Amino acid sequence: MAVNRQIKSQKGISLLELLFAILVVTTVIFMATRYVKVGQDGANVAKAITQIRTVVEASYDWVRVEPNFCGKGNFADYNCLDPAQQLSLQKLVDSKLLPKEYDNKDISPWRSEMIVAPQGLDELKITIKDLPETACLALEGRLRSDKQDKDTIKCIMSSGNKGQFEGVF
Asked whether residue 5 is domain-assigned, the answer is no
Point out the least confidently predicted range of 53-62, 86-95, 141-150.
141-150
4 in a domain, yes or no? no
Say if 136 falls within a structural domain: yes
Residue 115 has what DSSP assignment?
E
Question: Structural domain of residue 59, as residue ranges?
Answer: 14-168
pLDDT band at 27 (very low <50, low <70, confident <90, very high): very high
Say which DSSP state 72 is in. Answer: B
Tell me if 7 is assigned to some domain.
no
Give me the number of domains the chain comprises.
Answer: 1
Three-state DSSP at 124 gives: strand
Looking at residue 71, its pLDDT comes to 53
Span 79-106, average pLDDT: 75
pTM, entire model: 0.70
Residue 55 lies in a domain: yes
CATH number of the domain bearing residue 113 = 3.30.1690
Cα(87)–Cα(68) distance, rounded to whole angstroms?
A: 12
Examine residue 6 and state whether it is found in any structural domain, yes or no.
no
Q: Is residue 28 domain-resident?
A: yes
Q: Is residue 73 part of a domain?
A: yes
